[in-house]
Structure 1
Amino acid sequence: MVWSTADVPDQRGRTALVTGASGGLGLETARVLARRGARVILACRDVERGIAAAARVGGMAEVVRLDLGSLASVRQAAERVRGRVDRLDLLVNNAGVMFPAYRHTRDGFEPHFGVNHLGHFALTGLLLPLLRDVPGARVVTVSSLAHRLAARAPRAGDAHADGGHRSVAAYSRSKLANLMFARELHRRLADSGAAAVSVAAHPGLSRTGLWHAGAPVWLRPVSAGALRRLAQDPAEAALPALRAATDPLVPGGGHLGPAGLSECRGGAVPARSSRASRDELARIRLWELSQDLTGVRYARRGAERFAAGTAR
């Protein structure tokens, strides 16, 4: 039986934060969660767009400013969220960039790595005290089919690379980092006895704004043809993340994607992943690098409590 939004359980009494919720997959995810009764915090870089999105979401939707390309903004957003709520049930790490116009984030990072991975790594760590002991709490990190194009995770030398803003390789490595982070986070949560779990999802091919404007010239005709033939609407593409967030039968450490046609479109089911994403030592190295670069340190495996320390 195909899983749909009709299968999303009642979310009344639950609080969710969705990054990049002013449009595309994030907006669709927030709309469904709110429709099922959740209080939803839309974490958006553009507050005006976020307010307009909150009006479309309805229910108990609210906005917090979050620029994942600025670690200062990430810390400020986390502080605001901690001031508003005493617990989070869902954190959906959805926001991302693809071929942005700028060469580096405000902290000097290659933008795909800095926004797609490091920003979410820091945000999750800073919000984890609101999640870790909440029964049924979930962190969902949205990866991509493109993770399979990356032979390896980002390394220290990639962090400040110049020119990666137009690089398919840099984008693919950032999405591999998303998947590796989701799996390593779950392992560490499980080892510490936390109630929360971590799950990954990818949307397949979706008609969202990420494909517009900045793609390398050689890729544009390829992506245009693929989008015409294979892409699905954001409402359909959001299903894997929604199922990962709300279906209690999806196990921690899982990875969901579309069911049909090379995982480009279709219902939400367990997805395939690359060998690189399953490399445990590489995941640990990426984790340690991410802590060093962001200044947000998670407790070590086996610690009595799994929590993020204050940023350096």
Structure 2
Amino acid sequence: MSHIILDAPVSLLRQRLIDDMNMRRFSRETQRNYLRDIGRLATFLGRSPDTATADDLRRFQIEQQEDGVPVPTMNSIVSALRFFFTHTLDRPDLARRLVRLAHPRRLPVVLSRDEVARLLNATTCLKHQAALSVAYGAGLRVAEVSTLKVADVDSERMLLRVERGKGGRYRNAMLSEDLLALLREWWKAGRQQGVMHRDGWLFPGQHAMKPISTRQLYRVVVEAAQVADIAKRVGPHTLRHSFATHLLEDGTDIRIIQVLLGHAKLNSTAFYAKVATKTVRTVTSPFDKLGLFKPRESSPNG
């Protein structure tokens, strides 16, 4: 498929868009997605997307809906186009024409602690076990795990520095004693293999100069789950969901979990309360406190 904004490597418009994203420290994956989604509009128009009118945007979204494009995908395209029209073109009036659709958010799949342990033990090498352990032990997104560098491990302050989280935000993630011990074990093994360098990636890919890909991490999780006989549909983000849910069940303040996850809004973190079943079970119902009903004493014969 030909995308006008992608097919012109010397396009000033394309370069301006890339510069705007770089200035806001968007990740490479986000930039790739935005270029692709803006390219969809260009293909629909058959001309440069900066010539779009309000009616063009309306027809574009109607056609997407009629073609059965999933709501999350449509909303992702809206995010890309709103950025393009607001920041690159300085046309916020057009950005306001784009409609974001409401859709019910599915409850995330969460593993029990036993399932997490089985999954981590089912990995085939120390690098994979360490990478998935970071995803669970620090609650990192898969792209954040992929782009960690050796220098991001701060053993003095017991922190992991996440340089470019979602939206280009910087934050500190937690680093536990056991996770640090595992990372040190991987550091020694990686040095012996000649793939680890002090200024390099914490989890190198097939080529030491590049980080492990998010796709490979996804495959690692799926294969480990199969070996561990876990029937749930899991991916790297399942470990992040499990991290948040287990902290909530252990009584950790939800605002602290929000900071650890790097959520901009508390309602994103509060969603985990819906799957924290242990938390629900530990709450005493106000009905029980009325004391209206006492358990009947069973008779010797009954």
Alignment TM-score, normalising by the size of structure 2:
0.23
Greater share of strand residues, 1 or 2?
Answer: 1
Alignment TM-score, normalising by the size of structure 1:
0.23
Greater share of helix residues, 1 or 2?
Answer: 2
